[in-house]
């Protein structure tokens, strides 16, 4: 379980450069594009409503690890032109 936490924490930490999408066993999926709106806690991923993260009207979503079916790493964000 600790390996899963540390892997997910590393992906969330870099999500402002390379977004991730988390899929749950109830069919919901959340795209995380900035680490300020996601927290990896003991046994759960906690998501907060914010820019680019629609929680369907909720302010928080708690995604317990046993309900996360997969995590997809999305394409890197394009760098802004100078």
Residue 23, Cα to own-chain centre: how many angstroms? 9
Identify whether 78 is part of a domain: no
Identify whether 82 is part of a domain: no
pLDDT for the residue numbered 1: 58
Cβ neighbours of residue 59 closer than 8 Å, sequence gap 6 or more: 48, 49
pLDDT for the residue numbered 82: 54
Counting residues of the chain whose pLDDT is more than 70, the rounded percentage is 88
CATH number for the domain harbouring residue 25: 2.30.30
* Cα 64-66-72 angle, rounded to 5 deg: 85
Identify whether 56 is part of a domain: yes
Expressed as residue numbers, the domain containing 43 is 2-72
Q: Mean pLDDT score of the chain, rounded to an integer?
A: 87
Q: What is the pLDDT of residues 35-67, one digit of tens each?
A: 999 999 989 999 998 776 767 777 889 999 999
Residue 18, Cα to own-chain centre: how many angstroms? 11
| Domains contained in the chain, number | 1
């Amino acid at each position: 379980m600790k390996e899963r936490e540390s892997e997910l924490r590393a992906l969330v930490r870099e999500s402002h450069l390379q977004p991730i999408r988390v899929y749950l066993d109830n069919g919901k999926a959340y795209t995380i594009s900035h680490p300020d709106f996601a927290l990896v806690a003991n046994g759960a991923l906690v998501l907060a409503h914010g820019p680019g993260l629609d929680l369907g009207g909720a302010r928080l979503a708690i995604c317990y690890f046993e309900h996360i079916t997969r995590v997809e790493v999305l394409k890197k964000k394009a760098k802004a032109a100078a």
